Structure 1
Amino acid sequence: MTAEREAEFDFTHPFYQTGLAIGVPREDSAGILRSLGALLSWQFLSLVAGLGLLLLAVGSLLWLVERRRNAEQFGGSPAQGIGASFWWAAVTMTTVGYGDKAPVTLAGRLIALVWMFAGLIMVASFTAAITSALTVSNLQRQINGPRDLPGLRVATVADTASAQYLTEQRIEQARYPDLPTAMRAVADGAADAVVYDQPLLQYRNRELGERRLDILRNTFAEQLYAFALPAGSELRGPLAQEVLRVTESAEWQSLMDAYLGHR
């Protein structure tokens, strides 16, 4: 029931009061998989690759200055020498410092001194990157209401009250042709949440089986459901009375549970 529709139709007494709701991925399908997904993101993998190249560059530089005067530790073939230097750069950066390899030349020790201090910064930056990736991933799924939607990928159905609400709130949305498609987008990870009428979300959610979503209990943009009739219809009175009789009966809640399930 809306003011715009009331101008064109006559409504019976409302038989259901609801509102828009939010569907999110089930918690039991998140957890470790979500964290792994964050660590396997392109941004994080790029950071790891960059760190590996930096270790290789520092190791190669040390190998160039140590390979002749320190052949016992960094000698052998270029692959062996650079491999040993790469190992030294890694354990030095992480402040583990096994002591199995150490530069002996002045240039090598200067490189080691600079790398020790740089390693402290590198470890701190890398730790911060891991923490940020995991935190952002978890925060993106901690949706408790409409205030948490800005900045997320929100799915809805085109030309509906939910799409209009998201537009009015300036929330970026991906519009799908129907509700099951929008809900499957959330289940597949293509969207972070779906916004639609709560009872329809509940009803369609039962059809998703193991891919079903978690439907948040709280509703917003409250709505009333009623039967729409032609203006001046003689059926409005009898239907309104029947609506009141049914909704006041003891079987009404059981009927809703049969169609919508228990939340």
Structure 2
Amino acid sequence: MQKGAQGKAGTIPVLTMRFLAVAFFTLLTCLQLIVPAWAQSGETLVFATVDRPPFAILEESGPAGFSIDLMRAIGDDLGMNIRFVAQDSFADMLEVVQSGTVDGAIANISITASRETIMDFSQPIFESGIQILMPAETGTLARVGGLLTREILTAILVAMGLLFGGGMIMWVFERHHQTYFDRPAKDALFPSFWWALNLVVNGGFEERMPQSRPGRFFAVLLVISSLFVVSVFVATITAAVTVEVLHDSVDSINDLDGRNVGSVEGSTSARFLDTRDIRFRAYTTPQDMLAAFQQGTIDSAVFDGPILAYFVRNEARNSARLIERVYRPENYGIALPTGSALREAIDQSLLKLREDGTYDTLLEKWFGATFRR
């Protein structure tokens, strides 16, 4: 009996060890299920992007830009490798995120309520807004040149013709009656024109009053008709100047009505213009829109302010300007498939990068030392 009791007692440690071993392996299995695959050091995350300077710039050597550098910094913080997959369009980029084909997407992706219903977003990575791109303000000479429209040039030529014609008619009437007009026709062109011009502007030469009856009658007719001619001429010039001033004066989105406006199809800027009932030309990419702006096809562009500012600073130089007012402030975020396990880790990493100064360093690199958010 004593021996049997000892044998039974000896089996207890064996059962305990087996139980602990099973529990340990079960725990490891559960941890593997709980910890996502991306958390394994050295794993590669695939992120879609699209050409959107300065946030994402697709080059032969590889993608670059603020968003690209930021995503790489997040990957370094998480111990992950990041591989970028370029998409042909912004819509294609969002589609591969929605379908879960990629781990996420990054560029200048606005966080909107409609997009939030089909995908998840990280914390905001950039504060943006819609702005207006306009041609640079012209100098005095350029403004004067801009006033010489076909209508004004026509009015000037008609006025010159009337003065020359009226002066020569007076020469015909007065050439035998006063010495001022007593000269050959070829020599009378300018003196006759000058006489008619002074008659219209100053009321005539008192010392050179017409002596013949036809000359006096014509002079009175010329003075009376000149009142109407001058009024029409001044009205034409005034209207042209007013139109030119109004054309250059764009202080708000409402001033775009009637202008050749461009935007990017499917963008938040395009939807913003639609809500304001402002007609515009929709372009497939920002590059197409900005090329049309440089070619003069459109005279204003409405799109994301940071992208327009980058264009003004690096490509347009002195040929374009950006209206300071920002419409519909919005945030950019990293797009993720719905329910992505990456979201929390990315948010934590973003907070770290803001706190340790990495985020500000990237801002200064891509937007200048004076840029701060």
- TM-score band, normalised by the shorter chain? 0.7 to 0.9
Matched to 2:173, the amino acid is V
Partner of 1:104: 211
List aligned pairs for 1:14-33, cutoff 5 A. 14-27=124-137, 30-33=138-141
Task: Tell me the CA shift for residue 21 of structure 1.
Answer: 0.4
Secondary structure at the counterpart of residue 202 of structure 2 = coil
Of residues 185, 192, 210 in structure 2, which corresponds to 1:78?
Answer: 185
Partner of 1:224: 331
Is the Cα contact below 8 Å between 1:10 and 1:229 reproduced in 2? yes
The CA distance in 2 between the partners of 1:158 and 1:110, in whole Å, is: 67
Secondary structure at the counterpart of residue 14 of structure 1 = coil
Task: Tell me the CA shift for residue 39 of structure 1.
Answer: 2.4
Task: Tell me the CA shift for residue 139 of structure 1.
Answer: 2.8
The CA distance in 2 between the partners of 1:63 and 1:190, in whole Å, is: 51
Secondary structure at the counterpart of residue 54 of structure 1 = helix
Structure 2 CA distance for partners of 1:260 and 1:97, relative to 1, 3 Å: farther
Is the Cα contact below 8 Å between 2:130 and 2:304 reproduced in 1? yes
Structure 2 CA distance for partners of 1:85 and 1:22, relative to 1, 3 Å: same
For normalisation by structure 2, the TM-score amounts to 0.60
Is the Cα contact below 8 Å between 2:178 and 2:211 reproduced in 1? no
Task: Tell me the CA shift for residue 235 of structure 1.
Answer: 0.9
Higher RCO by CA contacts (8 Å cutoff, separation 6 or greater) = 1
Shifted more, 81-90 versus 235-244: the winner is: 81-90
Partner of 2:165: 57
The CA distance in 2 between the partners of 1:101 and 1:73, in whole Å, is: 7
The CA distance in 1 between the partners of 2:322 and 2:220, in whole Å, is: 56
Matched to 2:118, the amino acid is E
The CA distance in 1 between the partners of 2:218 and 2:263, in whole Å, is: 57
The CA distance in 1 between the partners of 2:268 and 2:129, in whole Å, is: 10
Partner of 1:5: 115
Post-superposition Cα deviations, 1:199-235, rounded to whole Å, max 9, x if no partner, equal: 1112222321534532222211232211111122111
Q: Which stretches in structure 2 are left out of the alignment for 5+ residues? A: 1-110
The CA distance in 2 between the partners of 1:199 and 1:49, in whole Å, is: 48
Post-superposition Cα deviations, 1:93-126, rounded to whole Å, max 9, x if no partner, equal: 1217456754221221122123223334433443
The CA distance in 2 between the partners of 1:44 and 1:163, in whole Å, is: 37
When Rg is computed on C-alpha atoms for both structures, the one with the higher figure is 2
Task: Tell me the CA shift for residue 47 of structure 1.
Answer: 1.6
The CA distance in 2 between the partners of 1:137 and 1:159, in whole Å, is: 32
Secondary structure at the counterpart of residue 94 of structure 1 = helix
The CA distance in 2 between the partners of 1:160 and 1:80, in whole Å, is: 69
2:190 is equivalent to residue 45 of structure 1: no
The CA distance in 1 between the partners of 2:204 and 2:365, in whole Å, is: 65
List aligned pairs for 1:233-252, cutoff 5 A. 233-247=340-354, 250-252=357-359
The CA distance in 2 between the partners of 1:7 and 1:180, in whole Å, is: 29
Of residues 198, 206, 218 in structure 1, which corresponds to 2:313?
Answer: 206
The CA distance in 2 between the partners of 1:99 and 1:172, in whole Å, is: 59
The CA distance in 2 between the partners of 1:242 and 1:251, in whole Å, is: 11
Task: Tell me the CA shift for residue 9 of structure 1.
Answer: 1.4
Q: Percent identity?
A: 29
The CA distance in 2 between the partners of 1:173 and 1:90, in whole Å, is: 48
Partner of 1:149: 256
Partner of 2:278: 171
Matched to 2:162, the amino acid is L
Post-superposition Cα deviations, 1:16-44, rounded to whole Å, max 9, x if no partner, equal: 222110122333xx121442233222222
Structure 2 CA distance for partners of 1:74 and 1:174, relative to 1, 3 Å: farther
Q: Which stretches in structure 1 are left out of the alignment for 5+ residues? A: none
The CA distance in 2 between the partners of 1:174 and 1:92, in whole Å, is: 52
Task: Tell me the CA shift for residue 190 of structure 1.
Answer: 4.8
Is the Cα contact below 8 Å between 1:22 and 1:194 reproduced in 2? yes
Secondary structure at the counterpart of residue 222 of structure 1 = strand
Post-superposition Cα deviations, 1:57-108, rounded to whole Å, max 9, x if no partner, equal: 32343234334x3373334443434443222222221217456754221221
Task: Tell me the CA shift for residue 131 of structure 1.
Answer: 3.8
The CA distance in 2 between the partners of 1:100 and 1:249, in whole Å, is: 89
Pairs aligned (count): 260
For normalisation by structure 1, the TM-score amounts to 0.82
